[in-house]
């Protein structure tokens, strides 16, 4: 008997390799005692598929497992729809790095079969909530599993802002922007900005400056319960953007206040039983994979 009974399928758009893996997955699951549903957006790429079609909001209500076929970007998009719901997420990698979608296409039947039999590891990943205040009123909301990023938008110019943590002034900075990252996002954009790699089990947030004008400016790691506030200085001659997971963005104005904090919602992410975070780092980041001789 399957450990999961209602499974939603979601795939990356405009990808023939994703369609191939989805069809292979559907063929495999059709031999199991499970009810499958196809994500509404994904169904546009697979008009020949006869599975029941549901929106992501509907999938979040009826499914106990959602399988995402694609890259980490596909899973990040799914995270916003399924976070806070009683549904687990499993990723099959059809992207590049695949830190979150960690089953390879060649292992679909074997690894997904193990998961259906209950052989998997489960972890909670927290999201960041974004709020933008203007004239004491909230003008925008957002959330991100990886990060919230302040950046100049289409202009290549420095931004000036003031950073506060738990209402304590930290610094005034001129830089290309600021990355506020969860442990999940520490191996993504924050890593390219010189941020630390944080183990997924940490309850912490990394604040990473992007090309700061002051060389002594370094990343800061704070407790995940911290409330981060960024004041957009009046001296700016552009309208900085704030982006969540690189997929949704808000255009700010001088005098706006960007507020970031840990979300009350979390994502239930599952991995195959042999999943190992440091092995993933070794394979994805090119770390030395051989141990030395300790004899």
Kindly write down the DSSP assignment for every residue of 253-294, as one continuous string: -TT-EEEEEEEEEEEEEEEETT--HHHHHHHHHT---SPPP-
Averaged over 74-91, what is the pLDDT? Answer: 93
**Chain segment 45-58, per-residue pLDDT in tens:** 999 999 999 999 99
Q: Which domain holds residue 39?
A: 6-119+273-285
At residue 191, the pLDDT reads 95
User: What DSSP designation does 106 have?
Assistant: G
For residues 219 and 193, what is the distance between their CA atoms, to the nearest angstrom?
A: 9
Question: Same domain for 147 and 18?
Answer: no
Q: How confident is the model at residue 1 (pLDDT cuts 50, 70, 90)?
A: low
- pLDDT class for 96, splitting at 50, 70, 90? confident
109 shares a domain with 65: yes
Say whether both 138 and 241 belong to one domain.
yes
| Location of structure tokens 């209402």 | 167
Inter-residue contact 171 to 163 (CB < 8 Å): yes
**Residue 2 pLDDT > 80:** no
Read off the pLDDT band of 295 (50, 70, 90).
low
Note the pLDDT of residue 288: 74
Looking at the fold, whether 163 and 41 belong to one and the same domain comes out as no
In a domain? residue 188: yes
Is residue 36 classed as helix, strand or coil in its secondary structure?
A: strand
Residue 261: predicted pLDDT: 98
pTM confidence score: 0.93
Q: Is 290 domain-assigned?
A: no
118 phi-psi bin (left φ>0, alpha ψ -120 to 50, beta other): left
Both 147 and 236 in one domain: the answer is: yes
The active-site residue out of 39, 72, 147, 245 is 72
Say if 156 falls within a structural domain. Answer: yes
252 and 281 assigned to the same domain: no
Q: If pLDDT is split at 50, 70 and 90, which confidence band does 100 have?
A: confident
- Domain total in the chain: 2
Q: What rounded mean pLDDT belongs to the chain?
A: 93
What pLDDT is stored for residue 99 in this prediction? 83
Q: How confident is the model at residue 294 (pLDDT cuts 50, 70, 90)?
A: low
Please indicate, yes or no, if residue 1 is contained in any of the structural domains: no
Least confident of 74-78, 157-161, 281-285: 281-285
Mark whether 72 is an active-site residue: yes
Query: Do 94 and 187 sit in the same domain of this protein?
Result: no
Residues 150 and 110 in one domain: no
| Percent of the chain clearing pLDDT 90 (strictly above) | 77
175 and 78 co-located in one domain: no
Among the residue ranges 150-159, 222-231, 242-251, 256-265, the one predicted with the least confidence is: 150-159
Taking residues 251-270, what's their average pLDDT? Answer: 96
């Amino acid at each position: 008997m399957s450990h999961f009974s209602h499974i939603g399928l979601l795939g990356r758009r405009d990808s023939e390799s994703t369609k191939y893996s989805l069809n292979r997955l559907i063929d495999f699951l059709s031999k199991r005692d499970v009810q499958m549903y196809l994500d509404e957006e994904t169904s546009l790429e697979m008009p020949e598929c006869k599975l029941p079609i549901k929106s992501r909001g509907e999938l979040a209500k009826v499914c106990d497992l959602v399988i995402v076929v694609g890259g980490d970007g596909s899973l990040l998009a799914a995270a916003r729809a399924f976070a806070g719901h009683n549904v687990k997420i499993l990723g099959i990698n059809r992207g590049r790095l695949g830190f979150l979608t960690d089953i390879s296409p060649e292992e679909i039947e074997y690894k997904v079969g193990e998961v259906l039999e209950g052989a998997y590891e489960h972890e909670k990943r927290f999201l960041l909530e974004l709020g933008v205040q203007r004239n004491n009123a909230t003008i925008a909301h957002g959330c991100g599993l990886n990060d919230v990023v302040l950046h100049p938008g289409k202009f290549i110019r420095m931004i000036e802002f003031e950073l506060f943590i738990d209402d304590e002034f930290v610094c005034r900075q001129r830089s290309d922007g600021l990355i506020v990252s969860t442990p999940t996002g520490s191996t993504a954009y924050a890593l390219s900005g010189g941020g630390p790699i944080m183990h997924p089990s940490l309850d912490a947030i990394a604040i990473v400056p992007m090309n700061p004008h002051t060389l002594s400016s370094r990343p800061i790691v704070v407790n995940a319960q911290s409330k981060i506030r960024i004041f957009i200085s009046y001296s700016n001659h552009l309208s900085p953007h704030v982006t969540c997971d690189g997929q949704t963005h808000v255009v700010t104005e001088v005098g706006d206040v960007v507020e970031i904090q840990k979300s009350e919602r979390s994502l239930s992410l599952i991995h195959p039983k042999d999943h190992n975070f440091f092995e993933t780092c070794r394979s994805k980041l090119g770390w030395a994979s051989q141990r030395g001789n300790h004899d």
